[in-house]
């Protein structure tokens, strides 16, 4: 059922926003647009979709919200304020190159489109075409963390994976994970010992928005580092040539430290 909750968020209200670590039950779309009527109509038109919509009037406030709430997708219109939409786009791209950003522009916004299109994922027309936009948005939001996080905790002895937050315990040590690494780990840990094809993993974690298979390789490498896996002889995550990846929990050697894991960092989507 839809969870469309439009909130025009100002800087004074930032203290009321939920912590970024909070697990949402729906993906979040942030709309940066100062046309309240257009955004309200858009949200009403999107009713029935599986994501929440937050709207912000100014790019400067939106930048704070991106850092605090970590939206799953941004719809960005040409808006002025303390910073411009173009400056917002540049700053967000520096911090999160893979956050999906849809630029919404009217026919008269040709200069804005020309300057923004290089950093945006796609340009959508304004006035908003609700049905068309809903399809585009959903294509970027498949298999996001909020839906997966509702599953139960996975307990594999040395390894436990939280079912309500993106974190795991290795030999009792807790580590927080970036969202995509969490999804990837859960998917593999639910199939211990099985060889899971690369294409299945990409589709399960990134959905139809995934275009670069190297992204999976990068995330596998990051998970291996968190487990302290030897890249030449990994024990947790093995690559089976021509087939995919096999996940298993190795026995702990008495002389080994509790955890070699590296701290979590914000990751590409």
Look up residue 185 and give its two tokens. 């780990």
Quote the pLDDT of residue 263: 46
Percentage of residues in the chain with pLDDT exceeding 90?
Answer: 39
Multiple choice CATH, 152-247, 3.90.1170.50, 1.10.10.10, 3.40.640.10, 3.40.605.10: 1.10.10.10
Q: Mapping DSSP to helix (H, G, I), strand (E, B) and coil, where does residue 180 land?
A: helix
**Res 148 pLDDT > 90:** no
Q: Does 230 or 105 have the greater pLDDT score?
A: 105
- Gap between the Cα atoms of 55 and 198, Å rounded: 36
Strand order in the sheet with 173-176: 154-155, 159-161, 167-170, 173-176
- Reported as a single tens digit per residue, the pLDDT across 214-263 is 888 999 999 999 999 887 889 999 999 888 999 999 987 655 444 444 44
Quote the pLDDT of residue 254: 54
- Gap between the Cα atoms of 228 and 1, Å rounded: 41
Positions of CATH 1.10.10.10 in the chain? 152-247
Residue of 76, 131, 138 whose CA lies nearest to 103: 76
CATH superfamily entry for domain 11-141 = Response regulator (3.40.50.2300)
CB atoms within 10 A of CB 197: 13
The overall average pLDDT reported for the chain is 79
pLDDT confidence band for 3 (50 / 70 / 90): very low
Residue 75, burial from CB neighbour count under 10 angstroms (0-12, 13-18, 19+)? buried
Positions of CATH 3.40.50.2300 in the chain? 11-141
**Widest Cα–Cα separation across the chain:** 68
Helices (H), 2-77: 36-45, 59-69
Instruction: Give yes or no for a contact between 38 and 127, defined as CB atoms under 8 angstroms apart.
Output: yes
């Amino acid at each position: 059922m839809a969870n469309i909750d439009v909130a025009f968020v100002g800087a004074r209200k930032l203290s009321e926003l939920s912590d970024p670590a909070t697990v949402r039950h729906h993906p979040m779309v942030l709309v940066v647009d100062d046309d309240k009527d257009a955004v309200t109509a858009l949200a009403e038109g999107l009713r029935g979709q599986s994501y929440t919509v937050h709207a912000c009037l100014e790019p400067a406030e939106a930048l704070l919200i991106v850092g605090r709430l970590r939206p799953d997708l941004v719809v960005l219109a040409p808006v002025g304020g303390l910073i411009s939409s173009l400056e917002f786009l540049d700053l967000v791209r520096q911090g999160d190159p893979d956050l999906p950003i849809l630029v919404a522009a009217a026919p008269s916004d040709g200069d804005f489109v020309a300057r923004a299109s290089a950093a945006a994922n796609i340009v959508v027309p304004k006035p908003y075409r609700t049905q068309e936009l809903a399809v585009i948005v959903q294509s970027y939001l498949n298999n996001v963390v909020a839906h997966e996080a509702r599953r139960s905790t996975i307990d594999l002895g040395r390894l436990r994976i939280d079912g309500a937050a993106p974190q795991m315990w290795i030999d009792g040590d807790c580590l927080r994970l970036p969202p995509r690494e969490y999804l990837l780990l859960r998917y593999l840990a639910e199939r211990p010992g099985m060889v899971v094809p690369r294409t299945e993993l990409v589709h399960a974690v990134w959905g139809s928005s995934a275009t670069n298979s190297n992204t999976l390789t990068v995330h596998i490498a990051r998970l291996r580092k968190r487990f302290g896996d030897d890249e030449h002889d990994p024990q947790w995550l093995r690559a089976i040539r021509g087939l995919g990846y096999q996940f298993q929990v190795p026995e702990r050697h008495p002389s080994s430290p509790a955890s070699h894991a590296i701290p979590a960092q914000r990751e590409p989507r």
